[in-house]
C-alpha cells in the first residue's frame, strides 16, 4: 500500500512537472526584434501643481527625449501630438523609451513637421496586480497628469484637446478606469491602446480592493456602453509566451455591437506574427512599428493632432492590426482608373491557373481574366504575389479596348498580408459590374517576384476532420489527405472549441516535381477571437503546429479552421494527435489560480485529520499521513459538484509556553502595530513567533531530550521515568501537530505578502498602509496565531470544544472551493474560521 501511494504521488508530481515545463517553456523562441536608441534617452520631469505633488509624492510625470529633440524641449514648449505611456505592475516609466525612440526616428522622415511628444508616468513600480489599494490612487494621478499635459500646449493656436494613452499590463486597466471618475471629462481621451492588459478579470484576486476596482470599471464600460461608444480601445495580447497574463484575459468586456473596441493577439497582427512575453510586448520592434505607423496615419494634416473621428480611428487600427490592405478604407478610390494601353504589356489568361515569375529586366505587365465564362462554374478568384509592396495590383475591368483594359476599378482593398506574400480572395458574386479581372505583375525596378492566381470552387476545397478526444493521450490519430489541385484549402477541425484541448498538428507535404515554389502558409483561424497563428513552411516539408486556444467558443455556430495556402500539384497529409503535455500546460494556464485554494483545502483537511486523531487516541498523527489523507479531494469535489448543480515551531505539553497574560499583551501590541502601520506586518510577526518554536521542538524530538520545565511535567505519563519514551513521544506528537499548524498558518502570510511589500516600498512616503486589506482581520488572526503557540495534543484532547472543532475543516474546505477560486483573499477568511475555534480549544 505504501509503494502504491508513493507511485501515485510520483505520477502526480511527474504530470505537474510536465505541465509546468510546457507552460513555462513550451512555446516558440522570442522572435521579436529589439528596439534600440540611437542617442542617450532623457526623461524630463514635468512640474505638477503643489496640491497634486503633495497628494501623490511617490508618483511623477516625465517627457521622453533624445539628443537634439531633448534639448529643444527643455523649456517644455511643445508642438507635437501628446501620447502618454502607462507602466503596469512593478513597471518602470523608462519602458516608454521603445515607443518614444521609434516615434522620434520615424518623424525625421515625415514631411510637415508631424511628430509626437511621448510622456510617461512613474507609478513607483507598485505591485498593483497583487495589491489593489493603489489602483484608484493611480487613476486619480493619471487624470491630473492628463490635465497637466494639455496645459503645456496652451500657447498653440490649435492646441490638442485629448491625449492618446498606451497602457502596459495593469496600466491599460488604469487607463479604462479613468472613465469611472465622477469629474473626468471623457473628451480628454479618445484612443486607448493596451498591451497585455488583463481586462476581463485580475490574474490573482488577492484582496477585495482589486475586485471592487474591476467591478466598477466593468460596470462603467458594459452598463454605460452607449456613452462610451466614441472612445476607441485596442487591446493586444501577447500570446502563449506570456504566461503571466494569458491572452484570453486581454479581451475587452464590451457589447459585441460596439464597433470601436478591438481585441486581438500579437500573433495575428500583420508584419508582426510573433508571440511576446509579458515584458517584450513593450519593446518588440514589430509591434512598436505597427503602433507608430498607426499613430502617423491618425494625424489630421490640418491640425497636426490626432483625429477626432471614431470611424477614421477604427479604419486605421484595422488597417495596421488586422488585415493591412493596400490603403486605409477611407482612402479608397471610387473613380475609374486608367491603365496602360500598350498592347505588348497585356496577356489574356484562358487557363484555370496562372503561375508567373517576373524577369530580371524591368517591364510593364498585366494579366487579364475573363469573368463571363467562369461565373457559373466557380465562386471565387484567388491570387497571391510575393511582391510585398502594399500597392494596388488587382483591378476589375469596366471598359475593354481590344486586348487591353482602359478603365478599371481598384479591387485590391481586400488584400491580406501574410508572412511570405500578399493574398487577395474575391467573391465572383460581388463583381457583377466587372467583365474582366486584371492582375498587375510589373517590375519597373527590376525586382523579381512570383504571382500565382486561380479560379476556385470554395465548397470543394473545404474539408472537415473530427479532432481526437482529449483523453486519447495521443494514442489515436485523426488525419486527412489533401490532393492539392489548388492554391488554398480549408480544413474544419470539428469539436475543437475548448481551452483545455491541445493538439499536435503535423502537416506533411510532398510534390512529384521539384521546382521553385512559393512557401506554404498554415494558418489556424479562430472565428470568435482574433488569435490566429501563422506558420510558414517550405515545399516539401514536415511541419508541426501547436493547436491550442486562448478562449473557448461562446456559442455553437462556428468551428476552428486550419487554412492551408498550398503549392499546386502537391499532396498534403494533416494529422492531429492530442498532446498530453500541452493539455497539462493549458490546465495550469487556466486553473493555476486555483492551486492556492486547493493547497489551503489540503492543509485544512490535514488539520482536521490531526484533530480527529487527537479526539480518538489523544495522539497526533504523523504529518505525512494526514497530508496524504488531505489529498483525497473527492471528499470536497463531490459536494462542490452537487452544490453547483443545485445552485448553478511548536512546543510540547507546557514546555516553554507563554502565560495567558503575556499572550494577551503580545496580541495587543501586534494589533496596535497592524492598525498604525500594516496589518500584514502584524500577521507576519505573529507567524514568526509561532514558527520560532518548531526548530526547537524538532531538535528535542531528534535528540530525545526535553527542557527542565517539561521534565517536571512529564510525570503525567503514568508515573514513567523523567526521560521515558512517553515524554519524548509527547514532544514528537506536538511536533507533528505544530508542523501541520505552521503549514496552515503560512497561507495567510503568503496571501498578505503583496500588501506588506507595497508598505515597505512606500515607507518613505507614509508609515501607514491605506487602504489596508487586512485591518479587519488583525484582531482575530493575530490572537489566534499567538494563542496557538501554547497548543498541544494534551490540551486539545481534554478540550470540550474539540468534537465540534474537528467537524469544521471538511465543510469549510467545500465552501472554500466554491467561493474562493476567483477571490483568493477569501481563503484567509475560511482559514480563520478554523483557526479561531482551534485557538479557543487551547483555553477551554
Q: How many CB atoms lie within 10 A of CB 96?
A: 28
Return phi, psi of residue 195, to 5°.
Answer: -120, 115
Which of helix, strand or coil describes residue 407? strand
Q: Which cell goes with 844? A: 477551554
The C-alpha atoms of residue 562 and residue 533 are separated, in whole angstroms, by 10
Question: Closest Cα partner for 682 from 745, 749, 770?
Answer: 749
Q: How far is Cα 67 from Cα 71, in angstroms, rounded to an integer?
A: 7
Which residue do the cell numbers 463583381 mark?
431
Query: How far is residue 836's CA from residue 761's CA, in Å, rounded to a whole number?
Result: 32
Is residue 499 a contact partner of residue 553, using CB atoms and an 8 Å limit? no
39 SS3 class: coil
SS (H, E, C) 502-551: CEEEEEEEEECCCCCCCCEEEEEECCCCECCEEEEECCCEEEEEEECCCC
Burial of 385 (0-12, 13-18, 19+ CB in 10 A): buried
- Which cell numbers hold the place of 268? 495575428
State the Cα–Cα distance between residues 765 and 544, nearest whole angstrom: 54
Catalytic residue of the set 169, 190, 263, 612: 169
Which grid cell sits at 797?
484532547
Question: Other C-beta atoms within 10 Å of 343: how many?
Answer: 10
Query: Which residue is it, cell 511541419?
Result: 543
How far, in Å, CA of 505 to CA of 502, rounded? Answer: 9
Q: Is-contact 635 810, C-beta < 8 A?
A: yes
User: If you search the block for the grid coordinates 489602483, which residue do you land on?
Assistant: 135
As a three-state string, the secondary structure of 157-190 is CCCCCCEEEEEECHHHHHHHHHHHCCCCCHHHEE
Backbone φ, ψ for residue 401 (5° rounding): -125, 100
| DSSP H/E element including 385 | strand 380-385
- H-helix segments, 88-134: 97-107
Q: Is the dihedral of CA 749, 750, 752, 756 positive or negative?
A: positive
Give the whole-angstrom CA distance, residue 787 versus residue 657: 10
Strands 380-385 vs 450-456: parallel, antiparallel or unpaired:
antiparallel
Distance between CA atoms of 690 and 685, rounded to whole angstroms? 9
Known catalytic membership, residue 169? yes
Give the C-alpha separation, 372 to 793, whole Å. Answer: 94
- What is the C-alpha to C-alpha distance for residues 191 and 193, in angstroms, rounded to an integer? 7
Distance CA 309, CA 299 (A): 11
Catalytic residue numbers read 169
Amino acid at each position: 500500500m505504501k509503494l502504491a501511494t508513493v507511485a501515485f504521488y510520483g505520477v502526480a508530481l511527474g504530470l505537474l512537472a510536465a505541465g509546468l515545463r510546457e507552460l513555462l517553456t513550451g512555446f516558440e523562441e522570442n522572435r521579436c526584434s529589439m528596439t534600440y536608441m540611437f542617442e542617450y534617452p532623457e526623461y524630463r520631469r514635468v512640474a505638477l501643481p503643489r496640491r497634486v505633488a503633495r497628494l501623490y509624492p511617490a508618483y511623477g510625470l516625465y517627457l521622453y527625449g533624445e539628443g537634439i529633440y531633448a534639448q529643444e524641449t527643455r523649456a517644455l514648449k511643445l508642438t507635437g501630438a501628446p501620447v502618454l505611456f502607462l507602466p503596469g505592475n512593478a513597471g518602470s516609466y523608462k519602458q516608454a523609451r521603445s515607443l518614444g525612440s521609434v516615434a522620434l526616428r520615424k518623424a525625421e522622415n515625415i514631411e510637415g513637421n508631424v511628430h509626437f511628444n511621448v510622456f510617461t508616468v512613474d507609478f513607483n513600480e507598485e505591485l498593483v496586480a497583487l495589491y489593489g489599494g493603489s489602483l484608484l490612487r493611480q487613476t486619480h494621478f493619471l487624470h491630473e497628469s492628463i490635465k497637466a499635459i494639455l496645459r503645456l500646449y496652451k500657447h498653440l493656436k490649435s492646441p490638442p484637446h485629448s491625449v492618446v494613452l498606451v497602457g502596459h499590463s495593469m496600466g491599460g486597466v488604469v487607463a479604462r478606469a479613468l472613465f469611472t471618475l465622477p469629474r473626468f471629462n471623457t473628451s480628454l481621451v479618445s484612443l486607448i491602446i493596451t498591451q497585455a492588459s488583463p481586462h476581463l478579470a485580475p490574474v490573482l484576486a488577492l484582496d477585495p480592493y482589486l475586485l471592487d476596482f474591476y467591478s466598477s470599471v466593468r460596470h462603467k464600460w458594459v452598463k454605460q456602453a452607449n456613452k462610451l461608444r466614441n472612445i476607441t480601445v485596442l487591446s493586444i495580447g501577447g500570446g502563449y509566451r506570456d504566461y503571466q497574463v494569458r491572452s484570453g484575459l486581454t479581451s475587452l468586456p464590451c457589447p459585441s455591437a460596439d464597433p470601436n473596441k478591438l481585441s486581438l493577439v500579437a500573433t495575428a497582427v500583420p508584419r508582426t506574427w510573433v508571440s511576446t512575453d509579458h515584458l517584450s510586448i513593450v519593446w518588440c520592434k514589430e509591434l512598436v512599428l505597427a503602433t507608430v505607423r498607426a499613430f502617423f496615419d491618425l494625424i489630421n494634416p490640418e491640425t497636426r493632432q490626432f483625429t477626432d473621428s471614431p470611424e477614421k480611428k477604427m479604419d486605421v487600427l484595422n488597417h495596421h492590426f488586422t488585415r493591412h490592405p493596400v490603403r486605409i478604407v477611407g482612402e479608397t478610390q471610387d473613380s475609374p482608373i486608367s491603365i496602360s494601353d500598350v498592347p505588348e504589356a497585356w496577356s489574356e489568361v484562358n487557363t484555370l491557373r496562372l503561375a508567373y515569375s517576373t524577369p530580371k529586366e524591368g517591364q510593364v505587365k498585366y494579366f487579364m481574366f475573363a469573368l463571363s465564362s467562369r461565373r457559373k462554374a466557380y465562386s471565387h478568384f484567388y491570387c497571391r504575389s510575393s511582391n510585398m509592396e502594399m500597392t494596388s495590383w488587382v483591378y476589375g475591368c469596366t471598359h475593354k479596348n481590344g486586348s487591353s483594359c482602359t478603365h478599371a476599378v481598384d479591387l485590391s482593398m481586400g488584400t491580406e498580408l501574410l508572412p511570405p506574400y500578399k493574398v487577395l480572395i474575391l467573391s465572383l458574386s460581388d463583381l457583377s459590374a466587372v467583365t474582366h479581372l486584371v492582375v498587375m505583375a510589373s517590375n519597373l525596378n527590376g525586382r523579381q517576384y512570383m504571382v500565382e492566381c486561380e479560379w476556385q470552387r470554395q465548397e470543394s476545397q473545404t474539408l472537415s476532420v473530427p479532432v481526437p478526444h482529449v483523453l486519447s493521450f495521443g494514442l489515436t490519430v485523426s488525419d486527412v489527405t489533401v490532393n492539392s489541385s489548388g492554391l488554398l484549402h480549408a480544413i474544419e477541425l470539428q469539436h475543437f472549441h475548448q481551452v483545455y484541448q491541445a493538439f499536435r498538428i503535423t502537416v506533411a507535404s510532398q510534390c512529384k516535381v521539384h521546382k521553385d515554389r512559393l512557401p506554404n502558409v498554415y494558418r489556424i483561424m479562430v472565428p470568435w477571437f482574433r488569435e490566429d497563428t501563422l506558420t510558414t513552411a517550405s515545399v516539401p516539408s514536415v511541419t508541426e503546429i501547436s493547436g491550442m486556444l486562448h478562449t473557448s467558443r461562446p456559442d455553437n455556430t462556428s468551428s476552428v479552421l486550419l487554412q492551408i495556402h498550398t503549392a499546386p500539384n502537391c499532396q498534403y497529409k494533416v494529422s492531429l494527435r492530442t498532446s498530453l503535455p500541452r493539455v497539462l500546460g493549458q490546465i495550469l494556464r487556466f486553473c493555476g489560480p486555483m492551486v492556492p485554494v486547493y493547497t489551503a483545502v489540503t492543509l485544512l483537511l490535514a488539520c482536521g485529520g490531526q484533530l480527529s486523531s487527537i479526539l480518538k487516541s489523544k495522539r497526533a498523527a504523523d504529518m505525512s499521513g494526514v497530508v496524504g489523507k488531505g489529498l483525497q479531494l473527492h471528499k470536497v469535489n463531490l459536494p462542490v459538484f452537487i452544490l453547483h448543480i443545485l445552485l448553478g515551531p511548536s512546543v510540547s505539553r507546557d514546555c516553554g509556553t507563554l502565560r495567558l497574560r503575556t499572550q494577551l499583551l503580545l496580541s495587543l501590541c501586534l494589533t496596535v502595530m497592524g492598525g498604525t502601520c500594516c496589518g500584514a506586518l502584524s500577521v507576519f510577526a505573529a507567524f514568526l513567533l509561532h514558527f520560532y518554536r518548531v526548530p526547537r521542538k524538532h531538535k528535542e524530538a531528534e535528540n530525545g531530550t526535553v527542557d527542565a520545565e517539561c521534565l517536571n511535567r512529564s510525570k503525567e505519563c503514568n508515573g514513567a521515568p523523567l526521560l521515558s519514551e512517553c515524554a519524548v513521544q509527547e514532544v514528537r506528537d506536538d511536533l507533528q501537530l505544530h508542523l501541520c499548524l505552521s503549514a496552515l498558518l503560512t497561507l495567510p502570510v503568503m496571501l498578505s505578502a503583496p500588501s506588506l511589500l507595497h508598505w515597505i516600498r512606500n515607507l518613505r512616503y507614509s508609515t501607514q498602509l491605506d487602504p489596508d486589506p487586512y485591518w479587519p482581520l488583525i484582531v482575530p488572526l493575530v490572537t489566534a496565531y499567538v494563542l496557538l503557540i501554547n497548543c498541544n495534543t494534551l490540551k486539545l484532547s481534554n478540550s470540550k470544544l474539540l468534537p465540534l472543532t474537528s467537524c469544521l475543516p471538511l465543510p469549510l474546505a467545500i465552501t472554500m472551493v466554491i467561493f474562493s477560486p476567483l477571490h483568493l483573499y477569501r481563503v484567509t477568511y475560511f482559514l480563520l474560521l478554523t483557526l479561531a475555534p482551534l485557538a479557543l480549544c487551547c483555553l477551554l
